[in-house]
Every structure is written in structure tokens, then in C-alpha cells.
């Protein structure tokens, strides 16, 4: 008899675990690791995932009491390593195992059981399926067939098919009614119709010049050193990590491409993670131009059908390279020899819902489990990765840093000027541009060169404030200041989405909600305002292209805007954080930062790190070609080390300062930190629950080795979201502490409580 170890998909902390079920003979051939199955669990039906198949039950389990697997609902989506990775994530991030396993399933599948009106458990399966296309081609006899003179549709179809097989759908677009013509011709044996699987999500071709990756004549010394270190790590086959610490434009992508080629030659496959927002046509194009059809692309902007087909390419072994956002880590590729995480410092690698895993950490675990190498790349590596490289090892594997301090060819890092906005006299009162930035923009317009302008929008949305009482309108359901949208004259909450029509001063209808004054005026600038000012400043023949959440909302808009910028003879690209990374346009000679310091003021211990990273990344968009680049950074905080270090491209001056602060306050990379957030409609219930949990944790860590700190409970910065009150507890622990299991244990030990939710965020990034 064989037994399946099944994790039921009932994601509550109380019943999270793995249970034995017998595999009946009828299912012997189909019930394997990675299958979704139907089982009965605690007198109900449940969907579950098979994480192991064994031939003996654990000691002490009575075989007579073991229930059978009822049905196999879906074929294997993951292997034993996938199952172990999910179980590692569950422990590390104090998340239910079933929620981690769901990450590994085929996209677009929901398999759930629910109670119907009669109280019976029912199974609901909703599944994205492969789709076929009808293809038509002329048969041997068809090739000699000459349609009658007046059969014009028939003639056009035969003419089109003479050039080769075609999709019937495409043919119908050319010749209306082609479908029925094909059917008629097929009946006469003149045309053959065949069904072929269509692969969705391959993407449209782009005209972007940077979307190809021509093989360079020579690699730089840095690139060679990086490839050498990666080769050693790959050959060691035990999860060793190489950090490619390469300045902007140093050619990290070329290193990835060559490293992948090398593992491909050895018959192994590769996974490449890039941040969701830099998963652009450019990035995809570079991988496609080198590996062609051997690449699958996975990210959340694809439809579920597209995602399913791309995922299935990996499972069926038709591709050996997967490029994608966070979730591509769980693609069902066999024989993975290399995992690459580009822009490894990016905060978006941390998932903000359960399981709250960090893709860099999960990638390290995956590389270890698969006997692969992990490559991390960045111009601004995370302090965690730098610290592990300094130590030389972390969790039993080697961490090596290779630096690539130079750009290939003749190009150099741009020169950087910091403009202190406090001392800059702006002759045109209220302009967002200082005179040096204005002059530089005009100069580029004259020379017909391109510029990039960053508006640091995080924490700096435009808002309304009453000049008489100082009141800032906030959302009644959330504790967030409302954002003012000038063009639609409305105030919107970016937390819950509510919006109200409001006109700001000097409109006569203006009225402060607090004191009734009519001086409710706009503060801060948005991208639209910058765009408007640019159009006023620059001659008409300069294209102004705006890229932000609004202009990129529709599918393909992102690529179209970049293509427009690429094709333009002289243009300014103005945008939010999304323009800071990865863009490779050699004609850009000027980068301007409208407001550098807004991110510095966020109540977050990573604020300085984030600001430095953003500025260094966006500065790196300038001077990537032959002409030298110039960067102008406007700030009210010119003396902050995170800002002044960018001016000299000298990370060490900022690092020294930052590490000292982190050490003093016992923050990562010197400690691990977890943020536990409790939320509920009743403020009292949230308070009581939070206090009880803090007491449990304090008692649990008492006497533990190393330094432990339990802070709070305290009100969250966003103290109310969608009418729910929020309090949090912060736990700091030694870097080698098993933080997840400990916190999970404390949470389980509390008696059940309705109405208050608990989110445990281990290695938290969002502390608000």
C-alpha cells in the first residue's frame, strides 16, 4: 500500500499540517507528488495537495484509521523540491503551508469545496485550459486547383494559402467569410485543416532598439570576473551565491545571458527574476533575442490564459529559461542549475500578503535544494546581501561579491550636481524647476538630446491643506491623507479607493471641512503638473512623454510610451519610480530629479537606503552612450549622506553612516525584524488581543540566547484602514534566530478570537 502525505487547503493556523491518506489501487498510477486531490477531512470534503508519497505510515499510525484519497483533481504541478520549498516558506514566514503550496499550482486554476444551500460539501473546479487554433493549408491536389472566375472569396483564400499554412482566424480577418470557404474546400479535399495548440503570452514584437542583446566583441574585466565566479558556484552545485555588484550600465544583463548559456550547454535550465515594473519589452526582448523560443515569460499583467500557457511551456519541458516577476521562482522547470535575481535590493521582492516571503531568500533556498547557483545583481545591493558577502557565508553556503566598477566601451558614470532648494532663488515663483535644471533642460532641447525627469512620488502625492487651520482632509475610513487630482477635481483615498469631488482654492466653491475657510489649497506636485510646466518651458518640437500609474494603466501602454521616447528625435520622459530602473537609452544625456528627499521622511528604517538606491539608479540612466551624462538632483536636504553620496558615486560614505545607525538601533542587517499587525472593527478587541500576544511573545523570548527586543503594541502609522483599527508589535531577534516558527507558536497559543486578524510579517519591509 502507498500513502500520500496531503496538506489540506484549509488555511487556518489551527489545523495547518500534513496528513496521511491511503492511495487506492485505482489511483495508483495518477496520484503523485504535486497532485491536487480530494480527501475527507474532519467530516467534510477538502481539497489538498500531495507533498510526498511513501510506502510506510509513520510509527504509531493505525492503518485501519487512514482514509483513502477520494479523487485526483489535477495532475502534478510541483515535485518534491517544490513541496519542500513551500514547507520551508511556511515555517520561515509563519504562513499556512497550503497558501505556500498554492503558489506552485498551474495559473488560472481554482479548485475549492464549499457548502451548498442544502449544507452539502460541493466541489467547484474552474480551470484555464489550453486552446487550439485551426490551421488551413492546401492539400497536394489543392495546389493545382484553380477556382472559378466569379468565386472571388474562394480565389482569395486559395491565393493566401499558396504562400503557406495559415491560421483560419487570421485568414478570416483578411477575407470575410473565409471560415466557411475553408470548410467547403476541406470537404472537397483541396484544403487540409489541422488543430494546433496556440501559445498565449508570447507578446507583441517591439520596435525598441534596446530590446535586443547583440553579443559584444569583448567582455569587460568585471564581466569576466563575474562569469568566472558564477561558473565556480554553478559547478559546486550546492546553492552558493554570487553578488554581482555592478554600477549602472556596467552590463549585468550580458553577464546573466552568458551565465545562462553556460548552464544550458550543460543541459540545465535557469530562472531569472526581475522586478515586476522592470519586466518591460526591453528586458523580455533581450532574453528572447538570445534564447528565442527557449524562454517563457511569467508576470501578473498577463491574462490567466497567457500565464497558463507560459507556465505549461516550462512544465512540458519545451522551454529551459523562465523570466518573470517574483512568482516565476515557482515555475515547474526541471533540472534548474541557475537562479538569477536582478535588482536584488528591490523592496517589491517582498510579498505583502500571506505568504509574506522575500523572493531573494526563497531563491536562495531553492538554489540550495536544487543544487544550483544563485546570482544576485544590483548597482545598489541590499545591506543584507553586502553583510553576508562580507561574512563570506550565510546559512551554510558561500556568498561572494564581485564588483563591476566600470561601464563597457567609452561610457562613464554621469557627473552629478546637487541643488539645495533652500538656497536656490527661483525667479518664477512656484516653478518646480530650479534655474540650473531649467537651463539644462533648455540646453538639451537645443542640442536635440534626450532627458529623463523623475518625480519621487512616494509619500509625496499632491494633497490639500487649509491655510487657515492647517487641516489636511483625510479619508473617513482610513487614516490616510487624501490625494488631490487636479484634472478631475477630486480627492481620492489611495488606500481604499473612495473619491469625492472637490475644487481647490482659488475656486469660489472651496470650503475647508474643518473650519469652513475658502483657503483650502493644493500642496505638492504631481506628474501632470510637471508635464504641464515642461510643455510651457520647452519649444513645441520637444516631445514630453509622461509615464505614471495613470498613463500606463492599459495593457501595452508602458511599451508604447517607451517606443515613442525611443523613436523621438528629442524628448523628455517624465515619470515616477517606474522610470528609474533598467531603461537603457544611450541618447539620454540629462537626468533630473525634481524632489529627492520625499522618501527620506517616511517613518521607516529603510528610508535612507531606499532614497540612495532610487537616486543612484535613476542617475544611472544618463550617459550610457558616447556622450557624457549629467544629473541634477533638487533637494531640501542636500547634506544627508544618502544624497551627497550619489554626487560622488561613492557608496562607502553613505554606507558607513547607514550601518552605524542600524547597528546602534539594532536593525537589519544586524538583526532580524518581524512586524505583527492586528486589525479589527472594534478598537477595544484589537487592543486586548495585541496586549495578550505581546505578553505571550515576551514570555517566550525571555532567557533566549542573543538579543531579543519586543516593542509595543503600538498604534500603526496607518492606524485605521477601511474602518479597521490597527496596532502592531515589532520583534527584533538575532540574525540566526528561527523567528517564524517562534512567532507562529505564540500566535497558535492564543485562544481563538473572532473579529481580530493577525498578520505576521517576518523580515518586514512595510512598517506602516
Query: Annotated binding residues for Zn(2+), as ranges?
Result: 466, 469, 475, 478, 493, 496, 512, 515
| DSSP-assigned letters across all residues of 441-481 | HHHHHHHT-EEEEE---TT---EEEETTT----B-SSSS-B
If one asks whether residue 225 binds Zn ion (CB under 5 A), the answer comes out as no
Residue closer to ligand ATP, measured from CB, 591 or 756: 591
Closest approach of Cβ 387 to ligand ATP, in Å? 21
Q: Which does 584 bind (CB under 5 to 8 A by kind): Zn ion, ligand ATP, none?
A: ligand ATP
CA atoms lying within 13 Å on the CB side of residue 669: 17
How far is residue 22's CA from residue 27's CA, in Å, rounded to a whole number?
10
Among 38, 475, 561, 578, which residue sits at the site for Zn ion (rule: CB under 5 A)?
475
Q: Per the annotation, where are the binding residues?
A: 466, 469, 475, 478, 493, 496, 512, 515
Q: Which does 249 bind (CB under 5 to 8 A by kind): Zn ion, ligand ATP, none?
A: ligand ATP
3-class DSSP assignment, residue 566: helix
Number of Cβ atoms within 10 Å of the Cβ of 705: 8
Q: Which does 178 bind (CB under 5 to 8 A by kind): Zn ion, ligand ATP, none?
A: none
DSSP H helices, 4-102, are: 80-92, 97-102
Tell me which stretch binds Zn ion (CB under 5 A): 63-71, 85-93, 478-486, 523-531: 478-486
How far is residue 464's CA from residue 491's CA, in Å, rounded to a whole number?
9
If one asks whether residue 478 binds Zn ion (CB under 5 A), the answer comes out as yes
Among 139, 495, 514, 564, which residue sits at the site for Zn ion (rule: CB under 5 A)?
495
Residues that bind ligand ATP (CB under 6 A): 216, 218-220, 223, 246, 248-254, 379, 408-409, 582, 584, 620
Environment class of 32 (CB within 10 Å of its CB; exposed 0-12, middle 13-18, buried 19+): middle
Closest approach of Cβ 336 to ligand ATP, in Å? 22
Contact of 83 with 34, CB cutoff 8 Å: yes
Contact of 207 with 146, CB cutoff 8 Å: no
Tally of residues, the chain: 768
Closest approach of Cβ 219 to ligand ATP, in Å? 5
Residue closer to Zn ion, measured from CB, 194 or 723: 723
**How many chain residues interact with Zn ion (CB under 5 A)?**
6
Among 313, 373, 465, 493, which residue sits at the site for Zn ion (rule: CB under 5 A)?
493
Contact of 297 with 331, CB cutoff 8 Å: no
How far is residue 112's CA from residue 45's CA, in Å, rounded to a whole number?
10
Long-range contacts of range 217-220, CB-CB < 8 Å, 24 or more positions apart? 218/408, 219/251, 219/254, 219/258, 219/408, 220/250, 220/251, 220/404, 220/406, 220/408
Q: Which does 493 bind (CB under 5 to 8 A by kind): Zn ion, ligand ATP, none?
A: Zn ion
Closest approach of Cβ 174 to ligand ATP, in Å? 38
Closest approach of Cβ 482 to Zn ion, in Å? 8
Q: Which three cell numbers stand for residue 199?
A: 501559445
How far is residue 479's CA from residue 724's CA, in Å, rounded to a whole number?
10
Tell me which stretch binds Zn ion (CB under 5 A): 33-41, 496-504, 521-529, 646-654: 496-504
Contact of 223 with 195, CB cutoff 8 Å: no
Closest approach of Cβ 410 to ligand ATP, in Å? 10
Residue closer to ligand ATP, measured from CB, 35 or 591: 591
Q: Which does 251 bind (CB under 5 to 8 A by kind): Zn ion, ligand ATP, none?
A: ligand ATP
Closest approach of Cβ 283 to ligand ATP, in Å? 9
Q: Which does 283 bind (CB under 5 to 8 A by kind): Zn ion, ligand ATP, none?
A: none
Q: How far is CA 625 from CA 377, 589, 620, 646, in A?
A: 22, 8, 11, 20
Closest alpha carbon to 620 in 588, 658, 655, 573: 588
If one asks whether residue 496 binds Zn ion (CB under 5 A), the answer comes out as yes
Closest approach of Cβ 470 to Zn ion, in Å? 21
Q: Which does 478 bind (CB under 5 to 8 A by kind): Zn ion, ligand ATP, none?
A: Zn ion
Closest approach of Cβ 723 to Zn ion, in Å? 9
How far is residue 313's CA from residue 310's CA, in Å, rounded to a whole number?
5
Closest approach of Cβ 252 to ligand ATP, in Å? 3
Residue nearest to ligand ATP (CB): 251
Q: Which does 495 bind (CB under 5 to 8 A by kind): ligand ATP, Zn ion, none?
A: Zn ion
Environment class of 410 (CB within 10 Å of its CB; exposed 0-12, middle 13-18, buried 19+): exposed
Q: How far is CA 157 from CA 154, 172, 181, 189, 537, in A?
A: 5, 9, 8, 15, 55
Q: Which does 271 bind (CB under 5 to 8 A by kind): ligand ATP, Zn ion, none?
A: none
If one asks whether residue 472 binds Zn ion (CB under 5 A), the answer comes out as no
Residue closer to ligand ATP, measured from CB, 382 or 677: 382
Q: Which does 344 bind (CB under 5 to 8 A by kind): Zn ion, ligand ATP, none?
A: none
Residues in the site for Zn ion, rule: CB under 5 A? Answer: 475, 477-478, 493, 495-496
Amino acid at each position: 500500500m502507498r500513502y500520500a502525505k496531503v496538506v489540506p487547503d484549509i488555511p487556518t493556523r489551527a489545523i495547518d499540517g500534513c496528513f496521511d491518506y491511503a492511495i487506492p489501487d485505482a489511483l495508483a498510477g495518477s496520484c503523485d507528488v504535486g497532485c491536487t486531490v480530494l480527501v475527507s477531512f474532519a467530516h467534510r470534503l477538502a481539497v489538498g495537495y500531495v507533498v510526498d508519497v511513501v510506502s510506510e505510515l509513520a510509527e504509531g499510525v493505525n492503518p485501519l484509521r487512514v482514509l483513502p484519497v477520494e479523487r485526483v483533481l489535477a495532475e502534478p504541478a510541483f515535485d518534491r523540491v517544490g513541496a519542500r520549498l513551500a514547507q520551508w516558506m511556511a515555517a520561515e514566514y509563519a504562513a499556512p503551508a497550503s497558501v505556500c503550496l498554492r503558489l506552485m499550482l498551474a495559473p488560472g486554476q481554482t479548485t475549492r469545496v464549499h457548502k451548498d444551500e442544502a449544507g452539502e460539501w460541493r466541489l467547484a473546479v474552474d480551470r484555464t485550459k489550453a486552446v487550439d487554433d485551426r490551421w488551413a493549408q492546401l492539400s497536394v491536389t489543392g495546389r493545382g486547383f484553380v477556382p472559378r472566375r466569379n468565386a472571388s472569396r474562394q480565389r482569395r483564400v486559395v491565393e493566401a494559402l499558396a504562400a503557406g499554412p495559415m491560421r483560419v482566424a487570421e485568414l478570416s480577418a483578411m477575407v470575410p467569410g473565409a471560415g466557411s470557404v475553408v470548410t467547403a474546400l476541406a470537404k472537397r479535399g483541396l484544403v487540409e485543416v489541422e488543430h494546433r495548440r496556440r501559445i498565449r503570452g508570447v507578446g507583441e514584437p517591439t520596435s525598441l532598439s534596446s530590446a535586443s542583446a547583440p553579443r559584444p566583441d569583448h567582455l569587460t574585466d568585471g564581466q569576466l570576473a563575474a562569469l568566472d565566479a558564477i561558473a565556480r558556484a554553478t559547478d559546486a552545485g550546492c546553492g552558493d551565491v554570487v553578488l554581482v555588484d555592478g554600477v549602472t550600465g556596467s552590463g549585468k544583463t550580458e553577464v546573466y545571458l552568458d551565465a545562462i548559456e553556460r548552464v544550458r550547454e550543460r543541459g540545465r535550465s535557469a530562472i531569472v527574476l526581475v522586478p515586476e515594473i522592470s519586466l518591460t519589452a526591453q528586458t523580455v526582448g533581450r532574453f528572447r533575442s538570445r534564447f528565442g523560443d527557449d524562454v517563457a515569460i511569467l508576470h501578473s499583467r498577463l491574462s490567466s490564459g497567457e500565464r497558463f500557457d507560459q507556465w505549461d511551456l516550462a512544465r512540458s519541458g519545451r522551454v529551459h529559461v523562465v523570466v518573470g516577476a517574483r512568482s516565476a521562482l515557482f515555475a515547474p522547470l526541471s533540472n534548474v542549475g541557475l537562479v538569477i535575481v536582478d535588482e536584488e535590493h528591490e523592496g517589491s521582492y517582498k510579498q505583502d500578503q500571506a505568504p509574506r516571503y522575500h523572493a531573494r531568500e526563497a531563491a536562495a533556498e531553492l538554489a540550495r535544494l536544487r543544487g544550483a547557483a544563485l546570482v544576485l545583481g544590483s548597482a545598489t545591493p541590499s545591506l543584507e546581501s553586502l553583510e553576508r558577502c562580507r561574512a563570506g557565508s550565510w546559512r551554510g553556503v558561500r556568498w561572494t561579491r564581485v564588483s563591476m566598477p566600470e561601464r563597457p566601451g567609452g561610457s562613464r558614470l554621469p557627473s552629478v550636481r546637487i541643488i539645495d532648494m533652500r538656497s536656490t532663488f527661483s525667479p518664477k515663483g512656484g516653478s518646480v524647476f530650479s534655474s540650473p535644471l531649467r537651463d539644462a533642460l533648455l540646453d538639451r532641447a537645443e542640442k536635440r538630446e534626450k532627458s529623463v525627469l523623475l518625480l519621487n512620488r512616494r509619500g509625496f502625492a499632491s494633497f490639500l491643506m487649509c491655510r487657515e487651520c492647517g487641516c489636511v482632509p483625510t479619508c473617513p475610513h482610513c487614516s490616510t491623507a487624501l490625494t488631490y487630482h487636479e484634472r478631475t477635481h477630486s480627492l481620492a483615498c489611495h488606500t481604499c479607493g473612495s473619491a469625492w469631488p472637490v475644487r481647490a482654492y482659488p475656486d469660489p466653491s472651496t470650503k475647508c471641512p474643518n473650519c469652513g475657510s475658502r483657503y483650502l489649497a493644493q500642496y505638492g506636485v504631481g506628474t501632470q503638473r510637471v508635464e504641464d510646466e515642461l510643455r510651457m518651458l520647452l519649444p513645441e518640437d520637444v516631445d514630453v512623454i509622461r509615464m505614471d500609474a495613470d498613463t500606463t494603466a492599459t495593457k501595452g501602454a508602458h511599451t508604447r510610451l517607451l517606443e515613442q521616447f525611443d523613436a523621438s528625435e528629442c524628448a523628455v520622459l517624465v515619470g515616477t519610480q517606474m522610470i528609474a530602473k533598467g531603461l537603457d537609452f544611450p541618447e539620454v544625456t540629462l537626468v533630473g530629479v525634481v524632489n529627492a528627499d520625499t522618501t527620506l521622511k517616511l517613518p521607516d528604517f529603510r528610508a535612507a537606503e531606499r532614497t540612495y538606491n532610487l537616486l543612484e539608479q535613476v542617475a544611472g540612466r544618463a550617459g550610457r552612450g558616447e556622450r557624457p551624462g549629467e544629473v541634477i538632483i533638487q533637494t531640501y536636504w542636500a547634506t544627508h549622506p544618502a544624497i551627497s553620496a550619489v554626487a560622488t558615486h561613492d557608496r562607502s560614505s553613505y554606507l558607513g553612516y547607514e550601518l552605524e545607525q542600524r547597528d546602534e538601533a539594532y536593525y537589519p542587517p544586524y538583526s532580524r525584524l518581524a512586524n505583527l499587525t492586528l486589525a479589527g472593527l472594534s478598537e477595544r478587541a484589537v487592543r486586548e488581543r495585541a496586549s495578550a500576544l505581546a505578553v505571550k511573545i515576551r514570555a517566550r523570548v525571555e532567557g533566549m540566547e542573543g538579543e531579543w527586543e519586543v516593542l509595543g503594541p503600538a498604534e500603526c502609522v496607518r492606524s485605521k484602514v477601511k474602518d479597521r483599527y490597527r496596532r502592531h508589535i515589532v520583534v527584533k531577534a538575532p540574525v540566526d534566530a528561527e523567528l517564524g516558527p517562534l512567532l507562529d507558536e505564540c500566535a497558535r497559543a492564543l485562544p481563538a478570537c473572532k473579529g481580530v486578524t493577525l498578520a505576521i510579517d517576518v523580515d518586514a519591509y512595510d512598517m506602516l
